[in-house]
């Protein structure tokens, strides 16, 4: 479960960590317990017996179901929760991007808030005076810095907060699904900054629901289950077990899964185009050789050829992703250009095209649904997705039961 690593370069060392929430029947009970010292509560251990080490430069992904204790663990590590049991040893500067923008006073200017919030994270006045220009530049707030924060849009506050907390490179960076910050342009900057920290040897602890991001960012993964470490090790290995677990969990809950499947079976269609046409998005996806079928289009060819046109962000070369699932939502394959070193072709005018061909589509007969994605250059940001937007039927020449033809050999 846990692994012993050299203690030489440990940035974080967690031993037998536990966090108990005491649930009282009512606030009155809580007061009574406080005054009388008699405990009358139900105890809920959000985190129990968690032990692990992080070595400098590692990037760890924390995964787990809802309520598995991920947020509690992150808050404990960030120091905003007090452990009930166990110890946390942290070396150097720890920065947590948990919820951004807390602590800004609406009546004060952005600059004033910057200096104040800096104090809360240990950046004092003199140091802040040095950092201020770079923070303003990164947050792109310019003259707005002298306006009260109450006049800011939520995106502006978040930009300022992100620029502030990441102004100084930490030794340990704790991120809770905060990669989706602001608009596409700013998201990109955030990711670049985090990747830059990582390249400079900063240890990152990243919590996400997205196995895709964990796989991309993290060397190791920690799977929390019911407050305990279920598995800690190489990302692929842990993610593999976790995905099996989630799938079993979905199957065990037909009541929840069924309405989703029913919704998936209905023709969804592509989402409406974005309000800002310059934003990166999926422009069109065309499947070749489709004919009208009884209740859904049918693929009238041995090959599946998808032509995907996307708009990139500015001059950046985007990446294109494609996924095929059974109509009831069981994934079959997902592919992306950045995973395979394939690049979309520029059509000029900010448009890019990828043609994806599955020769001799190795599927058995059935109903399938496709999704298309556009990513940034690194493949870390999903700019836009057409999720399960098109259903089609495929009739395979084989009559044997099954899902896919696997490459095989008879001897």
The candidate with the shortest Cα–Cα distance to 218, out of 230, 206, 209, is: 206
Site for another protein in 14-33 (CB under 8 A): 21-22, 27-28, 30-31, 33
Helices (H) and strands (E) in the chain — how many of each?
10, 19
The residue range among 7-15, 53-61, 117-125, 302-310 that interacts with another protein, by the rule CB under 8 A, is: 117-125
Q: Is 102 in the site for another protein (CB under 8 A)?
A: yes
Distance of CA 91 to the CA centre of its chain: 26
Distance of CA 395 to the CA centre of its chain: 36
Q: Is 92 in the site for another protein (CB under 8 A)?
A: no
Site for another protein in 24-83 (CB under 8 A): 27-28, 30-31, 33-34, 37, 75, 78-83
Among 84, 169, 279, 301, binds another protein (CB under 8 A): 84
Question: In angstroms, what is the minimal distance from the CB of 25 to another protein?
Answer: 13
Among 5, 10, 51, 121, binds another protein (CB under 8 A): 121
The candidate with the shortest Cα–Cα distance to 111, out of 125, 98, 121, 122, is: 125
Among 45, 108, 358, 387, binds another protein (CB under 8 A): 108
Three-state secondary structure of 269-311: CCCCCCCCCCCCEEEEEEECCEECCCCCCEECCCCEEEEEEEE
Question: In angstroms, what is the minimal distance from the CB of 21 to another protein?
Answer: 6
Q: Is 119 in the site for another protein (CB under 8 A)?
A: yes
The candidate with the shortest Cα–Cα distance to 67, out of 95, 83, 100, 44, is: 44
* Helix axes 154-165 and 125-139, enclosed angle (nearest 10): 130
Question: In angstroms, what is the minimal distance from the CB of 146 to another protein?
Answer: 15
Q: Is 129 in the site for another protein (CB under 8 A)?
A: no
Binding site for another protein (CB under 8 A): 21-22, 27-28, 30-31, 33-34, 37, 75, 78-84, 98-99, 102-103, 105, 107-108, 116, 119-121, 124
């Amino acid at each position: 479960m846990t692994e012993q690593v050299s203690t030489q370069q440990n940035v974080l060392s967690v031993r037998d960590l536990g966090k108990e929430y005491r649930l009282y029947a009512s606030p009155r009970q809580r007061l009574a317990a406080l005054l009388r010292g008699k405990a009358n509560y139900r105890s809920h251990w959000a985190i129990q017996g968690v032990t692990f080490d992080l070595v400098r430069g590692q990037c760890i992904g924390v995964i787990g179901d809802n309520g598995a204790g991920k947020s509690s663990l992150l808050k404990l590590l960030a120091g905003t929760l007090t452990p009930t049991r166990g110890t946390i040893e942290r070396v150097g500067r720890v920065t947590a991007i948990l919820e951004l923008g807390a602590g800004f006073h609406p009546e004060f200017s952005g600059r004033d808030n910057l200096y104040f919030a800096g104090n809360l994270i240990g950046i004092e006045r003199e140091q802040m005076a040095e950092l201020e220009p770079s923070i303003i530049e990164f947050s792109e707030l310019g003259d707005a810095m002298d306006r009260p924060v109450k006049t800011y849009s939520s995106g502006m506050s978040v930009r300022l907060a992100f620029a502030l907390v990441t102004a100084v490179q930490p030794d340990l960076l704790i991120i809770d699904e905060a990669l989706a910050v602001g608009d596409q342009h700013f998201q990109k900057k955030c990711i670049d900054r985090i990747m830059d920290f990582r390249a400079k040897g900063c240890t990152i602890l990243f919590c996400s629901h997205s196995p895709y991001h964990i796989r991309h960012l993290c060397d190791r993964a920690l799977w929390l289950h019911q407050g305990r470490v279920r598995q800690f090790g190489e990302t692929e290995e842990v993610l593999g077990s976790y995905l099996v677990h989630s799938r079993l969990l979905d199957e065990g809950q037909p009541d929840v899964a069924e309405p989703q499947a029913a919704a998936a079976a209905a023709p969804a269609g592509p989402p409406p185009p974005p309000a800002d046409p310059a934003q990166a998005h999926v422009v069109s996806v065309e499947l070749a050789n489709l004919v009208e079928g009884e209740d859904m289009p049918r693929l009238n060819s041995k090959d599946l050829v998808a032509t995907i046109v996307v708009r990139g962000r500015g001059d950046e070369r985007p990446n294109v992703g494609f996924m095929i699932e059974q109509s009831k939502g069981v994934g079959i394959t997902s592919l992306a250009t950045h995973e395979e070193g394939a690049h979309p072709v520029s059509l000029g005018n900010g448009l890019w095209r990828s043609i994806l061909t599955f020769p001799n589509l190795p599927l058995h007969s059935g109903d399938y649904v496709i999704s298309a994605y556009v990513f940034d250059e690194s493949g870390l940001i999903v700019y836009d997705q057409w999720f399960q937007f098109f259903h089609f039927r495929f009739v395979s020449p084989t009559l044997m039961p099954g899902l896919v033809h696997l490459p095989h050999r008879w001897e």
